[in-house]
Amino acid sequence: AQSVTQLGSHVSVSEGALVLLRCNYSSSVPPYLFWYVQYPNQGLQLLLKYTSAATLVKGINGFEAEFKKSETSFHLTKPSAHMSDAAEYFCAVSYTGGFKTIFGAGTRLFVKA
Amino acid sequence: NAGVTQTPKFRVLKTGQSMTLLCAQDMNHEYMYWYRQDPGMGLRLIHYSVGEGTTAKGEVPDGYNVSRLKKQNFLLGLESAAPSQTSVYFCASTCSGRACYNEQFFGPGTRLTVL
């Protein structure tokens, strides 16, 4: 069975500070891993994905995530937060041949001026 | 391309009323999904479809029915709405090839309130 755990339902950073959103997964087969972002009153959009190629994945808006199999983690980072990064972020897992994607509970990112 | 669209955007129902949410996608995707989003619970899968004429239950299917009569449309029905169905509903779709990786494309959501 697959599952996703996002550590911290709320994260607050200052503008210009490092953003780190944590995600741990469990999967009995090699996973596909995703980060989605949801801005207020909008649907989710893909930020980046890991599909078994490079373990360090770069996404849109300066975000990146590193797949660490030994730690079963896929943490999302951005070196310098911008006010426009304030949103809810969801980590998700799927796998080859599967129809479903499992989503974490989400982490709301607040950016302080 | 419009991507994934959802109708309506907002709706208020009284307990016991029925309604249908419409999802349409113009990307020729095989797989379509209905999720509900509740605070602190992420997205939970209600029903999904792997092709025209097929549907399957997800994690929280009770109280909902779906139909996929055309490949581009996926309908979600509430036969007798309950306050517990107050939520934001998202439709999503993805292609079926190996290189699709189950990457989901989402609609803008429908905010439903049941009084």
Nearest CA of chain B to the CA of A5: how many Å? 11
* pLDDT at position B29 over 80: yes
Lowest mean pLDDT among A2-6, A10-14, B54-58: A2-6
pLDDT for the residue numbered A100:
87
A53/B20: higher pLDDT = B20
Asked if B108 lies within 8 A of A94 by C-beta distance, the reply is no
Strands lying side by side in the sheet with B4-7: B4-7, B19-25, B73-78, B64-67
DSSP β-ladder status, A107-112 and A10-14: parallel
pLDDT for the residue numbered B49:
96
pLDDT for the residue numbered A48:
96
CA of A99: which chain B residue's CA is closest? B102
CA of B89: which chain A residue's CA is closest? A43
For testing contact with chain A, the best of B23, B33, B104, B105 (most A CBs within 10 A) = B104
Banded pLDDT at A99 (limits 50, 70, 90): confident
